């Protein structure tokens, strides 16, 4: 009898928690918007009340008007598509090359001793130093821009994959051998899960560098792209356009970073980490 009386109460409690849980899942990402919105509001009020003339750093209302104007004319979408296509192509090439070289150097000690010193030296070269060489080799058009972005993405992927493979616990591999797992089963069930968390971090780092390198790439005589909006705003003395381009870069970078996190979540559900418990709380 006690059980029959308690069950409806328990079900009611669970049902009451479900809307609260959904509300928390919606509210958590929204918390991250508080700081930029507060800063934008403070700066808008500072310009409105005359504490600043807003000439060098325009208020959010002027930046928004610039974005609306660029969007209405179709320029904004054209520049975003051009930049996204360059980042997508460079990111894909950089991830593929970085994963291959990182896996080879991580698994094969001879390849690591042969290749890693040269790759580490190349990693120390500033991005701007590659621009004249890429223009000389590949011309001033899309190929050199994509190559520069791929070079920026390559090194964090390479380092992340190599270090993840080198850091795999030897005892886990011995467990797989004890259970007589085949080579493919060893990779799928032990090596790949062990490497995947570091690989996801490397993807996010490489993507961030890809967005940084696309700015340098679009300084190389580009006629379209969000980086072109930056240089155009500088040459024409339009600080609102410069700030609008920076905000577009920030939004695109955050969206693509979130897409990687979202795509990786199903593959990392096996992790019993502090963050996973914090999200459930």
Q: Band of the pLDDT at 172, cuts 50, 70, 90?
A: confident
Q: In terms of Cα–Cα distance, which of 152, 34, 5, 136 is closest to 90?
A: 152
Q: In terms of Cα–Cα distance, which of 213, 245, 244 is closest to 228?
A: 245
Q: In terms of Cα–Cα distance, which of 218, 209, 226 is closest to 159?
A: 209
Percent over 70 (pLDDT), the chain: 84
The full set of domain ranges for the chain reads 74-280
Check if the beta carbon of residue 122 is closer than 8 Å to that of residue 101.
Answer: no
DSSP 74: T
Question: pLDDT, tens digit, for every residue of 48-78?
Answer: 888 888 788 888 999 999 999 999 998 899 9
User: In angstroms, rounded to a whole number, what is the distance separating the alpha carbons of residues 151 and 80?
Assistant: 21
User: In angstroms, rounded to a whole number, what is the distance separating the alpha carbons of residues 268 and 260?
Assistant: 12
Q: Quick one: average pLDDT of 86-109?
A: 92
Residue 237's region, left for phi above 0, alpha for psi from -120 to 50, else beta, is left
What is the CATH number assigned to the segment(s) 74-280?
Answer: 1.10.3720.10
Question: pLDDT, tens digit, for every residue of 24-54?
Answer: 665 666 787 888 889 889 998 988 888 888 7
Q: Band of the pLDDT at 178, cuts 50, 70, 90?
A: confident
Residue 130 burial (10 A CB sphere; 0-12, 13-18, 19+): buried
Q: In terms of Cα–Cα distance, which of 210, 204, 206 is closest to 260?
A: 204
User: In angstroms, rounded to a whole number, what is the distance separating the alpha carbons of residues 49 and 47?
Assistant: 6
The whole-model pTM stands at 0.81
Mean pLDDT of the chain: 82
* Ordered alpha helix ranges (H), the chain: 2-31, 34-48, 60-73, 75-107, 109-123, 127-138, 142-166, 170-178, 183-186, 192-218, 226-236, 239-264, 274-280
Q: CA separation (Å) from 103 to 120, 169, 195?
A: 16, 16, 10
Q: Can you state the angle between helices 75-107 and 60-73, rounded to 10 degrees?
A: 100
Q: Which of 4-8, 163-167, 178-182, 242-246 has the highest mean pLDDT?
A: 242-246
Q: Can you state the angle between helices 239-264 and 75-107, rounded to 10 degrees?
A: 40
């Amino acid at each position: 009898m006690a059980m029959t009386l308690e069950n409806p109460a328990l079900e009611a409690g669970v049902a009451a928690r479900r809307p609260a849980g959904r509300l928390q899942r919606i509210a958590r990402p929204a918390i991250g918007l508080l700081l930029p919105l507060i800063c934008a509001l403070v700066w808008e009020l500072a310009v409105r009340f005359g504490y600043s003339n807003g000439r060098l750093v325009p208020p959010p209302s002027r930046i928004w008007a610039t974005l609306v104007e660029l969007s209405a004319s179709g320029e904004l979408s054209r520049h975003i598509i051009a930049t996204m296509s360059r980042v997508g192509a460079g990111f894909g090439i950089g991830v593929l090359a970085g994963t291959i070289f990182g896996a080879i150097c991580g698994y094969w000690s001879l390849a690591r001793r042969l290749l890693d010193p040269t790759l580490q030296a190349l990693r120390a070269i500033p991005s701007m130093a590659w621009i004249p060489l890429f223009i000389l080799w590949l011309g001033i058009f899309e190929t050199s821009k994509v190559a520069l972005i791929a070079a920026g993405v390559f090194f964090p992927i390479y380092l992340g994959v190599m270090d993840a493979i080198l850091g795999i616990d030897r005892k886990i591999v011995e467990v797989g051998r004890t259970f007589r797992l085949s080579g493919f089963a060893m990779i799928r069930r032990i090596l790949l899960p062990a490497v995947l968390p570091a690989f996801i971090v490397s993807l996010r780092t490489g993507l961030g560098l890809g967005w940084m390198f696309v700015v340098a790439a679009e300084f190389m005589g580009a006629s379209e792209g969000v980086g072109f909006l930056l240089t155009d705003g500088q040459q024409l003395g339009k600080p609102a356009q410069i700030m609008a381009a920076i905000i577009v870069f920030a939004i695109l970078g955050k969206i693509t970073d979130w897409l990687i996190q979202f795509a990786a979540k199903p593959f990392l559900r096996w992790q019993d980490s502090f963050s996973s418990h914090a999200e459930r709380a």
